[in-house]
Amino acid sequence: MLILNRLLSSGQSFISSTAKKWLRITLTVLVFSCLGNSGTANAWWFWTPGDTVDNVGFKPEQPIPFSHKIHAGDRKIPCEYCHSSARRSFSSGIPSGNTCMGCHKIIKTDSPHIKKITAAYDNNQPMEWVKVHDLPDFVRFAHKRHVQGKEQGGAGLACQECHGKVEEMDVVEQGAPLQMGWCIGCHKDRKAPLDCLTCHY
């Protein structure tokens, strides 16, 4: 049942999501009633908290196919050029429209995707990116504490340690499980604080 569900869930979009949802519900009900044990497992799958699944490799479609490979890899733009508040805020920051337009007023202005950005910028519309590395709202992850160097009491981590080799990704995908156990493992290894209040408040 689990496998069935996974197969169905991770499949490409050959059927509509509603249909798939109903199919899944029907299947679940069917299997649940037929096979007690795997039905229980299924219930477990559905009702346990979200982070029982690691989502590694999650690779959503973004409004425009921004390639980190070109920007961060080929062109070697530092991460913090765009994600500018990583060193001073909890949030690393998503680059604003004017950051994009800073270069793309001149560069590749004829690309249809750049045109889309330009149009949005001119219309005062922000880009709506889909979050890839998304922590639950009850987790307070301070980018600055992880990115800052040792002299500032930070961990001095490279972005890639959690986000994966973004500079090699055409489409960004989730690089690490981002589950609590994964956080805790690293915190244990590095003798970082382990009290609950470090992240949850």
Partner 1 sequence: MTEEVKWEKTISDVNNEILVNLENPHKMFYVALATAVSVLLFAVGMVAYHTAVGPGMWQGFRPPVYWLVDITNFVFWVGIGHAGTLISAILFLFRAKWRNAVNRSAEAMTIFAVICALVFPAIHMGRMYLGAYWAMPFPNTNNLWVNFRSPLFWDVCAISTYFTVSLLFWYIGLVPDLASVRDRVSGIKKIVYGILSFGWRGTARQWHHYETGYGALAALATPLVLSVHSIVSWDFAMSLQPGWHTTIFPPYFVAGAILSGCAMVYTLLVPVRWMFQLEKFILDEHLEACIKLTLLTSTICFYAYSIEFFVAWYSGNVYEWAIFAKRATGPYAFYFWVMTFCNCIFPLIWWSKKMRLNKAVCFVVCVLINVGMWFERYNIILSSLVEDFLPGSWGHSEPGLWEIGLTVGSFGLFFTFFLLFVKFFPIVSLSEIKLIMPKPMSGHGKGGH
Partner 2 sequence: MTTENSIDTTEPNRQTPITAIPGFTMTDRGPEIFGPVDGPLETPVKVIEKGHLYMSAEEVMPNIDSDHSRRDSASDFTVSAGAEALAKTAVDRRDFLRLFSAAAVASSAAACVRRPLEKAIPYVNQPVDQAVGVATHYASTCGECASGCGITVKTSSGLPIKIEGNAEHPLSQGSTCAVGQASLQGLFHPDRRTAPGFRNGDTISTYAWDDVYEVLGKQITGKKVAIFTNGSTGSRNDFFTDVLTKLGGSTSDLYTYESNSLYSSVSEAHKIVFGVECLPRPDMRVAQVIVGLGTDFLDVGTSPVFYAKNFANFHTMNSGNFGKFIQFESMMTQTGAKADERYVVPPSSEIVVALLLMKSLVEKNAGGHATAQAAKIVAANASIITGGYDLVGVTKEVFDHTAEQLLKSPSMVLAGNTGFDENATMLQVAAVLINDMIGAYGKTLYIDRGWMRSPVRSDDLPRFMTKAASYDVVFFIDTNPVFSLPASLGFVDLVKKIPLVVSMQSMPAEIDDLAHVILPINHSLESWGDEHPVAGFWSARQPVVRPVKDSRQAEDIFLWLLAIQKKSLPYADYHAYLLDKWKALMVLVDAKGVDYETFVKAVLRRGFAGKLETRPAPSMKEVSASFKVGESATRKGLRLIAPLDPRLGDGRGADKPILQEIGDGMTTIAWDSWVGLNPNTAAKMGFKRNDLLLVETAAGSLKVALYPSPGLHPDAVVINRGNGHAITSGVAQGGVGVNPLVLCGTSLDAEIKTPITAGFEVKLSRTGEIYHLAAMQKSHDIGNRTSIVKKYSLEEVKNLKRNRSLDDVPDLYPKLAADEVSQYKWGMSVDLTKCSGCGACMAACAVENNIPQAGREQILLGREMHWVRLDRYFAGDLDNPQVTFQPMMCQQCNHAPCEAVCPVIATSHDPEGLNAMTYNRCIGTRYCANACPYKVRRFNWWTHKWGVMGDRQQDRMPRALNPEVTVRTRGVMEKCTFCVQRIRQAKYTAKEQGRLVRDGDVMTACAQVCPSDAITFGNLKDPGSRVARERADARSYLALGGDPDKNEFGLKTLPNVSYMGIIAHREPLGTGEEGEGQHHPAEGGHPAAGEAAPAAHGG
Partner 3 sequence: MSQSRGILAIFKHLDSVCHAVEKVKARADFKDHEVYTPTSYHEIEHACAYSPSPVRWFTFVGAMLGTVTGFALPLLCDWDWPIVVGGKSPGIYSLPAYVVIGFEFTILFGAIATVLGILVMCRIPNPKVTILDKRLTDDMFGIWIPGAVPDGAQAKLLKELGAIEIKLTH
The residues binding partner 1 (CB under 8 A) are: 44, 47-49, 51-52, 54, 177, 179-182, 184-185
Taken in order 87, 89, 94, 96, the sign of the CA dihedral is negative
How far apart are the C-alpha atoms of 83 and 95, rounded to whole Å? 6
Total number of residues that touch partner 3 (CB under 8 A): 3
∠ CA 169-171-172, nearest 5°, is 75
Closer residue to partner 1 (CB): 103 or 139: 139
How far apart are the C-alpha atoms of 171 and 113, rounded to whole Å? 15
The answer to whether 141 and 198 have CB atoms below 8 angstroms apart is: no
Choice from 75, 165, 188, 200 touching partner 3 (CB under 8 A): 188
> With CB cut-offs between 5 and 8 Å by kind, which of partner 3, partner 2, partner 1, none does residue 179 bind?
partner 1
Q: Can you say how many angstroms the Cα of residue 10 is from the centroid of all Cα atoms in its chain?
A: 17
Closer residue to partner 3 (CB): 19 or 197: 197
How far apart are the C-alpha atoms of 40 and 63, rounded to whole Å? 39
> With CB cut-offs between 5 and 8 Å by kind, which of partner 1, partner 3, partner 2, none does residue 181 bind?
partner 1
How far apart are the C-alpha atoms of 186 and 178, rounded to whole Å? 11
Closer residue to partner 2 (CB): 36 or 65: 65
> With CB cut-offs between 5 and 8 Å by kind, which of partner 3, partner 1, partner 2, none does residue 116 bind?
none
- x/- track of binding to partner 2 for residues 155-194 (CB under 8 A): ----------------------------------------
- x/- track of binding to partner 3 for residues 139-178 (CB under 8 A): ----------------------------------------
How far apart are the C-alpha atoms of 103 and 34, rounded to whole Å? 60
The answer to whether 90 and 144 have CB atoms below 8 angstroms apart is: yes
Closer residue to partner 3 (CB): 47 or 201: 201
